[in-house]
Structure 1
Amino acid sequence: MGTYKRILVAIDPTHEAQPALVRAAHLAKCCGGQLTLLACIFDFSYEMTSMLSVDEREAMRNSIVTQRQSWLEQVSAPYREQGISVDNKVVWHNRPFEAIIEQAITGQHDVIVKSTHHHDKLKSVIFTPTDWHLLRKAPVPVLLVKEGEWPAQGKVLVAVNVAAEDDAHQTLNDEIIGHAKKLSRAINGEIHLVNGYPGTPVNIAIELPDFDAHAYNESLKAHHQQRITELARNHQLDEAHCHVIEGLPEDVIPELAEELEAELVVLGTVGRTGFSAALIGNTAEHVIDSLECDLLAIKPEGFESPVKPE
């Protein structure tokens, strides 16, 4: 597991505020990293106009790209003045997530940082289609950030799965905690582990009158508590910050994140393929949709992106 030395920042050319850049610069300072700012632009009107020749369309496209590069230089200048190494790239691409992933692969970046949009009325983060594609398909960690500073001594909530005993799950748990440690150092943060476990199925309690649902639940909780405590010890984490809660991950994780006022949730995602890891498909998406804080999504070791660089 590498360090966050090469940080790719997805810049939103339609917004003046760039929370992702603020967060990435903070990371770069803490980790001695360098930034690559990527702005992806596309305008169908230039592609569809039949009145323009191919050469004219290309000239107009190049003109827009040049304008954006100039704008990006202005955006990045203050960070260069702070001593941060910044590289700027502008690409013309109609699928931003593909452009971001292609750059992440070819540039051998350690993490992708992208802003999300906070919806004031719903008090939750609104994730765009590009965000979802990155979470499912990016081969490197994806940090989705909202506006606002990371406070010192902020809390980092790590969603682990201690129920499964296969190597793949255990490796992913280790990977997720490793990334959480790196980011918590950047904010001098406090790491908490959480694991949701299923309660007694109602049909069992009905079909087996002698079945002691309470004893079963207590036994299940104790098993998960033991496993999560072992995991914390292995990573030199505070056992008092282990949380084992009855319920589905998509309910447990956002509720605890809100209760702890966590700045960041770290979880594992495997997109739509591969082994059934800690959080898959709809489960991950339910969790992500309910969060009010930053999110770091980690792929399991060996994950290959379906997006290939050209």
Structure 2
Amino acid sequence: MTKYSNILVVADPAQDHQPALSRAIHLARRSDDVKITLFLAIYDFSYEMTSMLSADERQAMRRGVVMQREEWLKDLIRPYTDDGFNIQLTVVWHNRPYEAIIAEVFSNHHDLIIKATHDHDKIGSVIFTPTDWHLLRKCPCPVLMVKDHSWPENGKILASVNLAADDETHEKLNDSIVDEAKSIADLLGAEVNLVNAYPATPVNITIELPEFDPASYTDAVRGHHLKSMKALRHKHGLPEEQTHVLEGLPEDIIPQVAEDIDAELVILGTTGRTGLSAVFIGNTAEHTIDSLNCDLLALKPEGYVSPLSPNLP
């Protein structure tokens, strides 16, 4: 039984080429009994605004658009279904795509979302849409954001861990990030690398405390992170040369290391406002994470409850 057996692929309504579907097929080829649902949420405000139409006529027009899109998706999946892949289609009318996607996850218990991101023409970096950000923050299951490139054999996976905090939640999240990286690496024949960013010495401390020695402070912080990384790699049986501990902000260090090792996939955790997850909070971080030039898999910690969960009061 594979880990991801019920994958939700979010279709891109703007193009025939569907990198997210290709990625799902890539995973399904290497596993048994994978069910893929190709999902599209559509909405056309003009159909809601036509006062000349009765409610029934508006409903009929919506149904017509939905059926038209279903036919388009059927054409897209035909080569794969003819090849024996289990692919279902779901098209819904909804004005907030991310809410429709997360509702679908809850109702049909999907264990992975795959969605294509948009390339920025100038530098080839990832531009996340508002829907992407909502999914990264609020989706209860892992979210794989895909770029339009292939996953090469013997590629590299970069797992981003947070070694600043000693609390149990972060330790568990670190372990699940590394375990995830290892299981995907086994599936794809890839190499696992770990990355951790540690903070630079705050400038204001050196100004306010003349006797403060920034060099020894930096050495102490770096030493703590190196020691924690050593413990983590020993625990998971990884060699030292596949670990990277660098000074700087996570949102700068992660894309830098991903580029240096030519990673095909970055895995990180996304919740709360501390450590790693701070990458996903605030405008600066949102813009810098855009510079990742490969796929991104975002995991939630154990026990995460989505604000869109139907079980919330």
Identify the TM-score tier after normalising by the shorter chain. Answer: over 0.9
Tell me, yes or no, if the aligned pair for 1:269 and 1:284 is still in contact at 8 Å: no
Which residue number corresponds to residue 233 of structure 1?
A: 234
Supply the distance in 2 between the matched residues of 1:107 and 1:27 (Cα, whole angstroms): 20
Which residue number corresponds to residue 135 of structure 1?
A: 136
SS, match of residue 305 in structure 2: coil
Which residue number corresponds to residue 15 of structure 2?
A: 15
Supply the distance in 2 between the matched residues of 1:162 and 1:131 (Cα, whole angstroms): 26
Supply the distance in 1 between the matched residues of 2:74 and 2:250 (Cα, whole angstroms): 42
SS, match of residue 277 in structure 2: coil
Which residue number corresponds to residue 296 of structure 1?
A: 297
Which residue number corresponds to residue 253 of structure 2?
A: 252
Note the C-alpha offset of 1:209: 4.2
Note the C-alpha offset of 1:163: 1.5
Which shifted more, 155-164 or 299-308? 299-308
* Structure 1 vs Structure 2 CA RMSD: 1.8
Matching of residue 276 in structure 1 with residue 274 in structure 2 = yes
Supply the distance in 2 between the matched residues of 1:77 and 1:173 (Cα, whole angstroms): 40
Supply the distance in 1 between the matched residues of 2:26 and 2:124 (Cα, whole angstroms): 25
Which shifted more, 275-284 or 103-112? 275-284
Matched residue count: 306
Tell me, yes or no, if the aligned pair for 2:154 and 2:188 is still in contact at 8 Å: yes
Deviation by residue 1:4-23 (Cα, 9 ceiling, x = unmatched): 11110000122111000000
Supply the distance in 1 between the matched residues of 2:148 and 2:241 (Cα, whole angstroms): 30
Note the C-alpha offset of 1:277: 4.9
Which residue number corresponds to residue 49 of structure 1?
A: 50
Which residue number corresponds to residue 261 of structure 1?
A: 262
Which residue number corresponds to residue 74 of structure 1?
A: 75
Supply the distance in 2 between the matched residues of 1:250 and 1:56 (Cα, whole angstroms): 50
Tell me, yes or no, if the aligned pair for 1:196 and 1:248 is still in contact at 8 Å: yes
Segments of 5+ residues of structure 2 without an aligned counterpart are none
Supply the distance in 1 between the matched residues of 2:203 and 2:41 (Cα, whole angstroms): 50
Segments of 5+ residues of structure 1 without an aligned counterpart are none
Supply the distance in 2 between the matched residues of 1:235 and 1:129 (Cα, whole angstroms): 35
Q: Which amino acid aligns with 2:176?
A: E
Note the C-alpha offset of 1:212: 3.4
Supply the distance in 2 between the matched residues of 1:277 and 1:83 (Cα, whole angstroms): 44
Supply the distance in 1 between the matched residues of 2:88 and 2:12 (Cα, whole angstroms): 16
Tell me, yes or no, if the aligned pair for 1:145 and 1:294 is still in contact at 8 Å: yes
Supply the distance in 1 between the matched residues of 2:154 and 2:23 (Cα, whole angstroms): 16
Supply the distance in 2 between the matched residues of 1:107 and 1:290 (Cα, whole angstroms): 33
Deviation by residue 1:232-291 (Cα, 9 ceiling, x = unmatched): 121222222111101111111111111111111111111xxx573532213753452221
